[in-house]
């Protein structure tokens, strides 16, 4: 890969075509803001300095990696004005690469190849172009008789563009390598068009000064895709998703239904894991090896261990450890830790609770703010009453304890190791190790009751 160049990322446009209060380049593609895709590609291509051009107070700079330099566009409109906002970084004789923050899927290799072409051809400017996109809205590349690039025709506002130029299929992708000093000199001479300073305006000026303008043509339409509106954002999302799934698949993950599976950028999945239809893995989700996940599992910043099985579940900041099983129909909320080999069954909600190794909560339960010991069993309809209307309280269930069906554990309460509860109990007092706690009215049988009712009806 090429080494030692500066990358400017233009990210200060208004993005009006998005109709959004969020700056365009912060819109996520597969969970990762567009501009971060571009930063990552620049780094992977070998950039040693990345300068991001933003507007004061637009929030784009927040959340970017610390090693990204910010330059604020405080004056002028247009891509040329954006580049001039970083003029202090446009020095020396190494190439300056200009990228658009709205081309999220540009591959690192395209950037490296562009720099390589630029240097090989001894060009003053080299632009990335393609013929494999619908050219509408892009700048068309007008080539001279000798085949070299003469100028770029902007077609965003199509009035006045001659039909033969509108017919051109080759478009400018807003990705360039420049000689930095020549670039600044030419930009200072570009005239405004539609009140904007177009970066593409430097092309005829550099050419007139005797510089060579090269083009590096790509046929990868996904990398080329520019995002100006949400229909293009949707296209980018699909293309990026394909790319992410293919990468996991090559590393050993089976997707039974790629069309219905969504995996965000940055999610980790181990080899030999099988993903059934209808899954959505988001944020910092990590899934281990040999796991079976789905159908219909949604995870947000959660972890699923090796060999675990999770079916029809919604997980938020929760951990399912190795060989544990979850679902169908489980809701694991923040702080739910399901330890090795434990089982969370059907219609079970767990929040801020540690479920010990091999413990079971198989049916219809709510476990909140609890610590459940290894191998304990919580029968159907076990409920922790963890909230007294003002504060949350903790419940502790000892190792191997057996909570019988329909038990309410009124916290704070402590059930000892190997202890039992009677079915239908509301447990308000601690139960010692090995003891049985029953807390329900005694049953009373009224003899002959049925007969008496019959006689009264006669
Ligand atoms: C630009 C190119 C066009 C090319 C297309 C590729 C120009 C004049 N035109 O058009 O030839 O085909 O990209 O997608 O350059 N930006 C700023 N400050 C500004 C204006 C824009 O930082 O004042 C940034 C935007 O955030 C965006 C990038 O520059 O990331 C491109 O701007 P945009 O308005 O989308 O340019 P296009 O009309 O798409
Ligand atoms: Ca654009």
Q: pLDDT value at position 17?
A: 95
**CB of 349 closer than 6 A to ligand 1?**
no
CA distance linking residue 386 with residue 374, whole number of Å: 21
Structure tokens at 259: 């069309």
Per-residue buried b or exposed e for 420-435, using 16+ beta carbons within 10 Å of the residue's own CB: bbbeebebeeebeeee
Question: What is the DSSP track for 350-415?
Answer: EES-EE-TT-EEEEEEEEESEEE-TT-EE-TT-EEE-B-SS-B--EEE-TT-EEPSS-EEESSEEE
Question: What is the DSSP track for 81-122?
Answer: HHHHTTGGG--SSS-EEEEETT-TT--HHHHHHHHHHHHHTT
Structure tokens at 214: 């090269």
CA distance linking residue 201 with residue 152, whole number of Å: 8
Q: Which residues surround ligand 2, an ion (CB under 5 A)?
A: 102, 226, 228
Q: pLDDT value at position 376?
A: 98
Q: pLDDT value at position 129?
A: 96
CA distance linking residue 42 with residue 20, whole number of Å: 26
Structure tokens at 47: 């950039």
Q: Give the ranges where 360-433 is alpha helix by DSSP (H).
A: none
Q: pLDDT value at position 414?
A: 98
Q: From the first residue on, what is the mean pLDDT of each consecutive set of 10 residues in the chain (458 residues)?
A: 83 94 96 97 96 96 94 96 97 94 96 96 96 92 90 81 91 97 97 94 96 92 89 97 97 98 98 98 98 98 98 98 98 98 98 98 98 98 95 97 98 98 98 97 94 92
Q: pLDDT value at position 63?
A: 85
Q: pLDDT value at position 439?
A: 97
Ligand that comes closest to the CA of residue 73: 1
Q: Which of 8, 9, 13 to mutate to test the pocket of ligand 1 (most atoms within 8 A of CB)?
A: 13
Tens digits of residue pLDDT in 291-319: 999 999 999 999 999 999 999 999 999 99
Beta bridge partners of 436: 420
Q: Give the ranges where 171-256 is alpha helix by DSSP (H).
A: 180-187, 202-208, 221-224, 230-250
Give residue 220 CA to ligand 1 midpoint distance, Å.
20
**CB of 189 closer than 6 A to ligand 1?**
no
**CB of 102 closer than 6 A to ligand 1?**
yes
205 close to 186: Cβ distance less than 8 angstroms: yes
How would you classify residue 324: left for phi > 0, otherwise alpha for psi between -120 and 50, otherwise beta?
beta
Q: pLDDT value at position 66?
A: 94
Map residue 304 onto helix, strand or coil: strand
Give residue 137 CA to ligand 2 midpoint distance, Å.
8
DSSP secondary structure code for residue 66 in this structure: T
**CB of 375 closer than 6 A to ligand 1?**
no
Q: pLDDT value at position 157?
A: 65
Q: pLDDT value at position 3?
A: 60
Q: Which of 24, 42, 71, 79 to mutate to test the pocket of ligand 1 (most atoms within 8 A of CB)?
A: 79
Question: What is the DSSP track for 153-193?
Answer: E--SS-TT--HHHHT---EEEEEEEE-HHHHHHHHTTPPPB
Q: Which of 174, 193, 203 to mutate to test the pocket of ligand 1 (most atoms within 8 A of CB)?
A: 174
134 close to 42: Cβ distance less than 8 angstroms: no
**Residue with CA closest to ligand 1 atom 39:** 138
329 close to 341: Cβ distance less than 8 angstroms: no
Of 419, 429, 454, 426, whose CA–CA distance to 440 is shortest?
426
52 close to 11: Cβ distance less than 8 angstroms: yes
**CB of 141 closer than 6 A to ligand 1?**
no
Question: Containing H/E element for 306?
Answer: none
């Amino acid at each position: 890969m090429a080494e030692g160049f500066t990358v400017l990322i233009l990210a200060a446009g208004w993005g009006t075509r998005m109709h959004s209060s969020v700056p365009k380049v912060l819109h996520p593609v597969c969970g990762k803001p567009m501009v971060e895709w571009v930063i990552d590609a620049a780094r992977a291509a070998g950039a040693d300095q990345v300068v991001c051009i933003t507007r004061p107070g637009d929030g784009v700079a927040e959340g970017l990696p610390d090693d990204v330099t910010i330059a604020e566009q405080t004056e002028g409109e247009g891509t040329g004005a954006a580049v001039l906002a970083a003029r202090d970084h446009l020095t020396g004789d190494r190439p300056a690469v200009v990228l658009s923050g709205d081309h999220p899927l540009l591959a690192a290799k395209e950037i490296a190849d562009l720099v390589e072409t630029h240097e090989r051809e001894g060009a003053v400017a080299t632009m990335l172009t393609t013929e494999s996109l619908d050219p509408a809205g892009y700048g068309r590349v007008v080539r001279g008789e000798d085949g070299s690039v003469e100028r770029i025709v902007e077609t965003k506002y199509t009035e006045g563009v001659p039909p033969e130029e509108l017919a051109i299929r080759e478009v400018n992708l807003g990705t360039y390598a420049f000689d930095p000093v020549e670039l600044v000199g030419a930009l200072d001479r570009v005239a405004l068009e539609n009140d904007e300073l177009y970066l593409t305006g430097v092309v005829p000026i550099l050419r007139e000064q005797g510089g060579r303008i090269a083009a590096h043509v790509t046929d990868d339409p996904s990398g080329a895709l520019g995002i100006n509106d949400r229909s293009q954002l949707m296209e980018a999302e699909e293309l990026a998703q394909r790319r992410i799934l293919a990468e996991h698949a090559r590393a050993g993950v089976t997707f039974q239904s790629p069309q219905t599976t969504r995996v965000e950028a940055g999610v980790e999945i181990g080899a030999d894991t099988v993903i059934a239809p209808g899954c959505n893995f988001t944020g910092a989700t990590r899934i281990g090896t040999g796991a079976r996940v789905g159908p219909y599992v949604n995870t947000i910043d959660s972890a699923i261990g090796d060999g675990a099985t999770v079916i029809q579940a919604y997980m938020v900041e929760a951990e399912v450890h190795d060989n544990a099983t979850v679902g169908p129909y489980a809701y694991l909320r923040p702080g739910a830790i399901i330890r090795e080999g434990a089982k969370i069954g059907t219609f079970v909600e767990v929040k801020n609770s540690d479920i010990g190794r091999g413990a079971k909560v198989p049916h219809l339960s709510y476990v909140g703010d609890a610590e459940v010991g290894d191998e304990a069993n919580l029968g159907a309809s076990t409920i922790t009453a963890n909230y007294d209307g003002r504060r949350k309280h903790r419940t502790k269930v000892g190792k191997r304890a057996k909570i019988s069906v329909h038990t309410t554990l009124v916290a704070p309460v402590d059930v000892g190791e190997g202890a039992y509860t009677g079915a239908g109990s509301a447990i308000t007092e601690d139960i010692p190790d090995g003891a049985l706690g029953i807390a329900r009215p005694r049953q009373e049988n009224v003899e002959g009751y049925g007969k008496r009712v019959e006689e009264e009806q006669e």
